[in-house]
Amino acid sequence: MEHETRGNRWRHVWRLAWRRATGRLFGRSTARPLDRSTCDRSPRGRSTARPLDRSPRGRSASLGMTLIEIMVVIAIIGLIAGAVTFLVIPRFKKAKEGTAKILVEKVYNAAAEYYTVAPPGGGCPSLDDLVKEDLLKRDQTKDQWGNELEISCAGDVVDEVRSAGADGNMGNEDDIFYSEKKEE
């Protein structure tokens, strides 16, 4: 009988030590494993099991980041953002120019088709004429920089369609134009 009581008492001591280690004794939610290598039973029958500390300085060492770590992360993010900006902006400008070339060619084809729809001797079509005949949409009369396109004709034949380009001035080297004779 005494043997059973002694076993129950040790079972109770280990259960209490386990609850202390897992945080269930006082309502804490953090569980820390027991260091069973240092567990022994004291002469009075108490367990000396202690929770393990995972860091040399205790629990406070893993609670946050230092200011230097945060500064290094921000510097890395800044370098990546700068590199992306440096590589993307020139491609964005080239994409605008490519889209403007496609638009100028489309307006040229619509102006050439206008002569098949319009009455003979109507002269050079304007952008409004192309919109009225449903050959173009209203938003296709301006280039990517918001400048109106120009149509020039030689008699009853469309000579060229021109966009002012990024600077908005006609007659510069950045003008975008399309012609059957000469294409840029």
Q: Are strands 150-154 and 176-178 parallel, antiparallel or unpaired?
A: unpaired
Task: Tokens for 23, please give them.
Answer: 């945080």
Task: Tokens for 146, please give them.
Answer: 């918001």
What pLDDT is recorded for position 1?
47
> What sign results for the dihedral spanned by CA atoms 164, 149, 105, 141?
positive
Output the tens digit of pLDDT for each of the chain's 184 residues. 455 555 576 777 777 777 777 766 555 555 555 555 555 555 565 555 555 555 555 555 556 789 999 999 999 999 999 999 999 988 988 999 999 999 999 999 998 888 887 777 778 888 888 888 888 888 888 888 888 888 888 877 888 888 888 888 888 888 888 887 754 4
What pLDDT is recorded for position 167?
86
pTM, two decimals, is: 0.55
Task: Tokens for 150, please give them.
Answer: 């120009």
**Angstrom distance (rounded) from CA 110 to CA 127:** 10
3-state secondary structure the chain: CHHHHHHHHHHHHHHHHHHHHHCCCCCCCCCCCECHHHCCECCCCCECCCECCCCCCCHHHHCCCCHHHHHHHHHHHHHHHHHHHHHHHHHHHHHHHHHHHHHHHHHHHHHHHHHHHCCCCCCCCCHHHHHHCCCCCHHHHECCCCCECEEEEECCEEEEEEECCCCCCCCCCCCEEECCCCCC
